[in-house]
Structure 1
Amino acid sequence: MTQPFLNHSAAELPLTRESTQAIKSALLRWYLLLLVLLSWASAPAFALQGNLGAHDPSTIVKDGNKYWVFTTGQGIPSKYSTDLVNWTAGPRPVFTAATRPSWITTKVPTFVNDYWAPECIFMNGKFYLYYSCSSFGSNVSGIGLATNVTLDPANPNYNWVDEGEVISSNAGSTFNAIDPAVFKEGNNVWFTYGSFFGGLSMFPLDPATGKRQGNTSTTVANGNPEAPFLTKHGNFYYMFINRGACCNGINSTYYILVGRSTSPTGPFLDQTGRDLNNNGGTVVLNVSGRYVGPGHAGIFEENGVSYFSHHYYDGDDNGFPKLGLAKLTWDAADWPQVTRDWVTPGRYEITRQGSNLVWQAQGCTGAQGDAVTQSTRTGQACQQWDFTPAGDGEYRITNAVGGLAAGVAGCSAANGAVLQLEAANNSPCRLFRIDRANDGSLVFASANGNRVVEVPFASNVSGTQLALFDYNGCSCQRWTLSLGAPLTTLASRNMANVSIYPIPATLGNFTLDLTGRKSNEAVTVEVLDMQGRVLYRRVVANPQAKTAVEAGLLPGLFLVQVRQGTGLFTQKLTVL
């Protein structure tokens, strides 16, 4: 965790290493106080949901049905989630002033309970939590270890056990004992630590105790690095690090790089072959839009999906530091690719989780102002949506009929604001940020405020207009995508030699004319209202050239769909 680099004139403050560090550390403490104050405020978040204030988040660890991260702050605060979308502050810190480990007073006597950059790993049937303590204005620092059999304070077995010091540094040391990272592979456990003062080093841990094994260490990165994280993918070990300045809000210049090696101890080379020990590193995440100063990488893998955790300073929220989760994949050469875009551009059907109800542009005319509803799946083009990335996890979602975008009526961010077709542009109220939940479903949050798309009141009625509401995790706020057919494919399904008459119809009935079709395959006839609700359905097992359809429709406008095999015929019908 780097302190921010600040510039002061000689008249303001002499630029000694100690005085500059003191100012930098004071600014960090101000940010930590801001985390606490803003966690009580009602200002909307702009990524994920819930309590997102975080600096130097640990790698995500799972205990039972909860996902946990620990962060920099008083006593080591935590937060948890049950779905990787909504985050809640942990009920208590790891340590209080009364339970502070005694070794800290001896090794870091000026420590004031602001623990830095914790890391957590599960092994030997319990959780090992490593944490940093540092002294303002010097490299008098230490890394300690605490263990617990559970991370849930509601569990009766919850109890943090102080395991003491892992490593410390003093004024005469050539390194700084902060920013721990732990990687376990079989019976080998590797510990990486350090900062811009002396670089990053690693040594093995005893897998039984989680403490240092031996007295040797290997330097793995120089050039003002911070925040190491070691992992393995395929045949390579990957060392993620930070460079730049953190802790200065929107003026932070932190960014994340990577190098790789065939050995867990390096040398770690970037894509050009340059060593991290020689200022090398391939950038994997840098400032982009509102996401300023990303730092402190971690990787959590579940069900074949890799989440790249980090913190960033929100440029749209006064530089407030927040928890971020991005998508991690690997290219053909096994280099990591990090993006906030969870959906590949393309055409999709959007299905409500656990149902056969999909997004539809009401009326299938593609006209501006038409409602966006949930409707029974019919395969029509108006149930196809094109996803176009707008950057940083946000998408413009346009209908295949007419090309207008799903947007929020009146550009409202209020609870209950409804969705309708609008001109396709990158206005925030016509963009949606997509987050991936742990079960693979997606959450669509309006870029204008952060409320999410919901089927109001969890209605199962076809034709219900979609609207924005606060996130609650209901299946009515979760969506899955399936690839939609290109319009050329949809066109190829059109049934020829089909007609219905009379139009307008009278007495609610009409005739289906199949004259000219040579197939005897069964025909399905459906009549839907303009909200997509099926009002009449009939299967004609042995279709004749002409079939009377006695639907008994009341006066109004309807949509008639006729299916035979893979063919589809659609016709609007007015009843007088």
Structure 2
Amino acid sequence: MADNNNRRDPNRRTVLQTLGAGALGTLGVSGASDAVEASPDSSTHYHNELYGQHFPDPTIHRDESGTWWAYGTNMDRDDGADDSEELLVPILRSDDLHDWTYVGEAFDSRPGWTYGSVWAPDIHYDDGEWVMFYSLEPRPWESGEFGIGLAKSDTPDGPFTDYGQVLGDEETGGGTIDGYFVEYGGTPYLFWGSFQGIFVAELTADLRDWKPATRQQVAGEAYEGSTVFYRDGYWYLFVATGTCCGGYDSTYEVEVGRSPDFFGPYIDPSGTDLRTYDEHNAGIAQLTGNDRFPAPGHGDVTVDDAGDYWFVYHAYDRDDAEFIDGVPARQFFLDRLEWTDDGWPIIGGDKTPSLQSPLPNAGDSGAGAVPNGIYRIENVNSGKPMAVTAAGTDDGDTIEQSAYDGGAHQHWWVEHVGGGEYRLMNQNSWKALDVPDGSLDDGERLTQWAWWTGTMQKWRFIENDDGTVRIENHNSGAVIDVADASMADGADIVQWSWNGGDQQRWTLSLIETIDPTTDGRPW
């Protein structure tokens, strides 16, 4: 895929863990750019996909002991059994949110109110019980009605006892799958819908029936796969749109609306009411596919020990595919939610599935440690600041070091953008420091480019042991480096794997503090 500037999105992305930025000092340790190790290890990072078998429509909940439990749509058995013998809601568990173990099936036998496949489970803990709403797809597809059922268990690993259908197409008019349970103000509610509108209605106290007179529409016919949660004054509604199940050509993606009112209206980042959308992919995607991982969507939200929000979802993997009866499997993914200054979630850092990310529970999504402002960013080895070559103002102009002369091309607006990450905007051009085409290569010369939120434009300040910082790219995991440890004016600024050399150590000198809420920004 390409962004609006016709630049290639990377096929691989990495999200490197920040250790935090403290005092910005001036001392350093010698070194050279010849020790290459670009890939973070499993002690600090996890890799998508998390579970390499068929696990669509994941739902997640954490028990009181701290263990996470995830549940997925039916999948064909891979042990040679008859194709009609599907897993009756597979269950995974994890103590850390990234290493997952298969536990078994939620049901001992198929729910009996209609013979069909069990889809899109939704798990919650309510009033001392594990509560699962699930969808049934009738067989054959040409007959019967879709509906949502209820099952409960005393333990997260089941077996779940089925209580039958709660609501169905005959009552609702269609699209009655993909339930999502929320207790609001002490009253139980269920969201549901699939390309015939997303609705919410009150449930009875025992959760076994619904109250049709309370039904309200919250999103249009473009959507299915609802997820609803509350954060900082807003209710957020995640919805899936596009095609989910056609293999690598699927167009699934995730959109979001929010509202201060539980019942809506849910408004997307463009200011549009989600109820107005009636075509697939009509709105603004907060998670969309990339070259390797097509069709991400239909997931759930959880919060880790550090207070970070995470989205579990399914997607395809072109490079590490599993197949079910010759069809690519939808596999289990995890990505962190980052938040804009005005409270909109961005999934995966650049709205696409990540290949690898910092481990959950690390607590790297807090406020930025470097105050927003304009800085001179000076190399410890040469004593010279980072600058745009020839004070250029065009996309693609290169970055060099040069003796300080006070020019705006040597000054950088540093702004925290969430998740412990920053953008570095040149004061002369108001373009962002960028790794061309998301390159992962050591020695890639840095450039400037108009800000477009890509991970290759996001940086982390990591405190060294001498009070200096290294500046690490979100996408590649490499740090800003002066090529060949040069002392010369005009020496290239590149990215290189961290090796501790002085040419990779930097100091920040604050020139001017600017409050973007009052002074504004020119981009």
Is the counterpart of residue 487 in structure 1 residue 497 in structure 2?
Answer: no
Is the counterpart of residue 95 in structure 1 residue 107 in structure 2?
Answer: yes
Q: 2:332 aligns with which of 323, 332, 340?
A: 323
Q: What secondary structure, in the 3-state scheme, does the structure 1 residue paired with 2:120 have? A: strand
Is the counterpart of residue 127 in structure 1 residue 130 in structure 2?
Answer: yes
Tell whether the 8 Å contact from 2:250 to 2:294 is kept in structure 1 after alignment: yes
Q: What secondary structure, in the 3-state scheme, does the structure 2 residue paired with 1:299 have? A: strand
1:160 alignment partner in structure 2:
160
Is the counterpart of residue 189 in structure 1 residue 188 in structure 2?
Answer: yes
2:202 alignment partner in structure 1:
204
Is the counterpart of residue 249 in structure 1 residue 335 in structure 2?
Answer: no
Q: What secondary structure, in the 3-state scheme, does the structure 1 residue paired with 2:275 have? A: helix
1:133-172 counterparts in 2 under 5 A?
133-135=136-138, 136-137=141-142, 140-152=145-157, 158-170=158-170
Question: How far does residue 189 in structure 1 lie from its aligned partner after superposition?
Answer: 2.4
Question: How far does residue 159 in structure 1 lie from its aligned partner after superposition?
Answer: 4.1
Tell me the distance in 1 between the aligned counterparts of 2:183 and 2:290.
32
1:341-387 CA distance string (max 9 Å, x none): 657458xxxxxxxxxxxxxxxxxxx99xxxxxxxxx99369x97542
1:480 alignment partner in structure 2:
none
Larger RCO: 1 or 2 (CA < 8 Å, sep 6+): 2
The two structures, once aligned, show a CA RMSD in angstroms of 3.7
> Cα gap change, 1:330/1:261 in structure 2, threshold over 3 Å: closer, same or farther?
same
Amino acid in the other structure paired with 1:95: F
Tell me the distance in 1 between the aligned counterparts of 2:274 and 2:298.
16
2:309 alignment partner in structure 1:
306
Amino acid in the other structure paired with 1:56: D
Tell whether the 8 Å contact from 1:51 to 1:87 is kept in structure 2 after alignment: no
Q: What secondary structure, in the 3-state scheme, does the structure 1 residue paired with 2:166 have? A: strand
1:316-355 CA distance string (max 9 Å, x none): 2245421111111332222222224657458xxxxxxxxx
Q: 2:478 aligns with which of 394, 397, 400?
A: 397
Tell me the distance in 1 between the aligned counterparts of 2:209 and 2:199.
15
> Cα gap change, 1:138/1:396 in structure 2, threshold over 3 Å: closer, same or farther?
farther
Is the counterpart of residue 277 in structure 1 residue 275 in structure 2?
Answer: yes
> Cα gap change, 1:378/1:321 in structure 2, threshold over 3 Å: closer, same or farther?
closer
2:178 alignment partner in structure 1:
179
Tell whether the 8 Å contact from 2:94 to 2:101 is kept in structure 1 after alignment: yes
1:35-74 CA distance string (max 9 Å, x none): xxxxxxxxxx961545554101113433534211110113
Structure with greater strand share of residues = 1
> Cα gap change, 1:260/1:65 in structure 2, threshold over 3 Å: closer, same or farther?
closer
Is the counterpart of residue 218 in structure 1 residue 299 in structure 2?
Answer: no
Structure 1, gaps ≥5 residues long: 1-44, 106-110, 153-157, 347-365, 368-376, 405-423, 432-465, 467-483, 492-576
Tell me the distance in 2 between the aligned counterparts of 1:138 and 1:266.
34
Tell me the distance in 1 between the aligned counterparts of 2:231 and 2:464.
43
Q: 2:472 aligns with which of 387, 396, 411?
A: 387
Q: What secondary structure, in the 3-state scheme, does the structure 2 residue paired with 1:128 have? A: strand
Tell me the distance in 2 between the aligned counterparts of 1:216 and 1:177.
16
Tell whether the 8 Å contact from 2:163 to 2:208 is kept in structure 1 after alignment: no
Question: How far does residue 166 in structure 1 lie from its aligned partner after superposition?
Answer: 1.0
Tell me the distance in 2 between the aligned counterparts of 1:115 and 1:221.
24
Question: How far does residue 228 in structure 1 lie from its aligned partner after superposition?
Answer: 1.0
Tell whether the 8 Å contact from 1:128 to 1:145 is kept in structure 2 after alignment: yes
Is the counterpart of residue 54 in structure 1 residue 63 in structure 2?
Answer: no
Q: What secondary structure, in the 3-state scheme, does the structure 1 residue paired with 2:477 have? A: strand
Identity fraction in percent: 26
Structure 2, gaps ≥5 residues long: 1-45, 75-85, 322-327, 349-353, 359-363, 365-419, 423-441, 444-462, 486-493, 510-523
Q: 1:264 aligns with which of 237, 262, 274?
A: 262
State the aligned residue count.
Answer: 326
> Cα gap change, 1:134/1:488 in structure 2, threshold over 3 Å: closer, same or farther?
closer
Tell whether the 8 Å contact from 1:345 to 1:386 is kept in structure 2 after alignment: no
Amino acid in the other structure paired with 2:103: G
Tell me the distance in 2 between the aligned counterparts of 1:138 and 1:220.
28
1:116-157 CA distance string (max 9 Å, x none): 0100011101110111101213571121111112114xxxxx
Tell me the distance in 1 between the aligned counterparts of 2:503 and 2:64.
41
Amino acid in the other structure paired with 1:265: F
Q: 1:80 aligns with which of 93, 99, 117?
A: 93
Question: How far does residue 294 in structure 1 lie from its aligned partner after superposition?
Answer: 0.9
Q: What secondary structure, in the 3-state scheme, does the structure 1 residue paired with 2:478 have? A: strand
Tell me the distance in 1 between the aligned counterparts of 2:484 and 2:181.
49
Q: Taking structure 2 as the reference length, what is the TM-score of the superposition?
A: 0.55
Question: How far does residue 288 in structure 1 lie from its aligned partner after superposition?
Answer: 2.2
Amino acid in the other structure paired with 2:234: F
> Cα gap change, 1:51/1:269 in structure 2, threshold over 3 Å: closer, same or farther?
same
Question: How far does residue 237 in structure 1 lie from its aligned partner after superposition?
Answer: 1.6
Tell me the distance in 1 between the aligned counterparts of 2:144 and 2:254.
23
Amino acid in the other structure paired with 2:101: T
Question: How far does residue 301 in structure 1 lie from its aligned partner after superposition?
Answer: 1.3
Tell whether the 8 Å contact from 1:384 to 1:399 is kept in structure 2 after alignment: no
> Cα gap change, 1:144/1:233 in structure 2, threshold over 3 Å: closer, same or farther?
same
Tell me the distance in 2 between the aligned counterparts of 1:185 and 1:292.
35
> Cα gap change, 1:49/1:261 in structure 2, threshold over 3 Å: closer, same or farther?
closer
Q: Taking structure 1 as the reference length, what is the TM-score of the superposition?
A: 0.50
Question: How far does residue 253 in structure 1 lie from its aligned partner after superposition?
Answer: 0.0
1:2-39 CA distance string (max 9 Å, x none): xxxxxxxxxxxxxxxxxxxxxxxxxxxxxxxxxxxxxx
